[in-house]
């Protein structure tokens, strides 16, 4: 299956969170298209390896690594401060890095359940911190990488952080639903305030990425050895909807993009459907206010 190829990215700067799996594939494709890319992740050794691999695969690539630990809001602030001090504008922010279903409850530096904190809240804070650089580039895009799991989330406004009665799968689904809500609400607020952003959501379908490594036991075995070969696709193919959302001229602000094949698990990228609750503006506004308080940021 041929992956989506982005148009020329000459003269653009993209920030991609996550150095492996989808993040690596997105950064590689953007680099091959001539764009400048900053990969952001917590492990400097892994990041250096990703940069070296991209440089080898795309000679002349302008790609660099910056330390960003999404399990620490201080690290988010420090990363954004460095960029605000060194860059004039950002064309694309791709909020991709994530954690999936750790078997036991894990917490971020601020005491949030790690999937809520890493997958959602840190990206919410990062986007706010980088808003001046995004607003400096007319038409800048913010892409939140969500999942089909959003459709299976049991939304509870009083348990956004999934800290009560922790369940690995429920917490993951909830974090991905929140990312989808964020993408939809960010577009609404950008339109109302004149920020000039295009906010989008994308999901990779059922893609073979390193997220499965955080799961365990029989579930991981069944997913990677049986279901993935039958129904899924590679990380490279899974990156296509993200790249489409980030670069295609044929997108609608606030929309979701994903694979268009069997059950949206594989295939060429195209429009997808949000979970029904994502379209509830009152719920999104409530989540936004609570998220600003939890992240210690204010948009605008």
Distance CA 205, CA 260 (A): 9
Distance CA 203, CA 256 (A): 8
Contact indicator for 95, 183 with CB cutoff of 8 Å: no
Contact indicator for 285, 114 with CB cutoff of 8 Å: no
Q: How far out from the chain centre does Cα 273 lie?
A: 17
Residue 282 tokens read as: 């009152």
Exposed/middle/buried for residue 293 (C-beta within 10 Å: 0-12, 13-18, 19+): exposed
Distance CA 119, CA 112 (A): 11
Q: Single out the catalytic residue among 4, 172, 257, 274.
A: 172
Residue 272 tokens read as: 């997808």
**Number of other residues whose CB lies within 10 A of the CB of residue 36:** 18
Q: Which residues pair with 234 in a beta bridge?
A: 208
Instruction: Give catalytic status of residue 4 as yes or no.
Output: no
Edge-first strand listing for the sheet containing 256-259:
62-67, 36-41, 13-17, 92-95, 141-145, 198-202, 256-259, 269-271
- Could you give the residue numbers annotated as active site? 172
């Amino acid at each position: 299956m041929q992956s989506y190829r982005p148009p020329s990215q000459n003269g653009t700067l993209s920030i991609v969170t996550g150095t492996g799996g989808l993040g690596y594939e997105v950064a590689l494709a953007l680099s091959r298209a001539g764009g400048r890319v900053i990969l952001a992740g917590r492990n400097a050794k892994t990041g250096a390896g990703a940069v070296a691999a991209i440089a080898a695969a795309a000679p002349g690539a302008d790609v660099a690594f910056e330390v960003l630990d999404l399990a620490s809001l201080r690290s988010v602030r420090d990363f954004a401060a460095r960029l605000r001090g060194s860059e004039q504008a950002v064309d694309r922010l791709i909020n991709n890095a994530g954690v999936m279903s750790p078997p036991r409850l894990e917490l971020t530096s601020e005491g949030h359940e790690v999937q809520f904190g890493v997958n959602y809240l840190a990206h919410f804070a990062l986007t706010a911190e980088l808003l001046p650089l995004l607003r400096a580039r007319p038409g800048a895009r913010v892409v939140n990488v969500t999942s089909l799991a959003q459709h299976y989330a049991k939304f509870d406004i009083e348990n956004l952080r999934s800290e009560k009665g922790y369940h690995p799968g429920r917490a993951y689904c909830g974090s991905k639903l929140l990312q989808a809500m964020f993408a939809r609400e960010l577009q609404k607020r950008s339109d109302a305030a004149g920020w000039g952003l295009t906010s989008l959501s994308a999901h990779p379908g059922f893609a073979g990425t390193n997220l499965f490594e955080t799961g365990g036991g029989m579930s991981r075995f069944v997913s990677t050895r049986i279901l993935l070969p039958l129904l899924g696709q590679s990380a490279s193919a899974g990156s296509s909807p993200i790249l489409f959302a980030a670069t295609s001229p044929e997108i609608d602000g606030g929309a979701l993009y994903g694979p268009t094949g069997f059950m949206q698990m594989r295939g060429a990228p195209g429009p997808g459907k949000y979970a029904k609750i994502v379209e509830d503006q009152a719920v999104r506004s409530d989540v936004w206010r609570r998220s600003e308080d939890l992240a210690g940021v204010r948009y605008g």
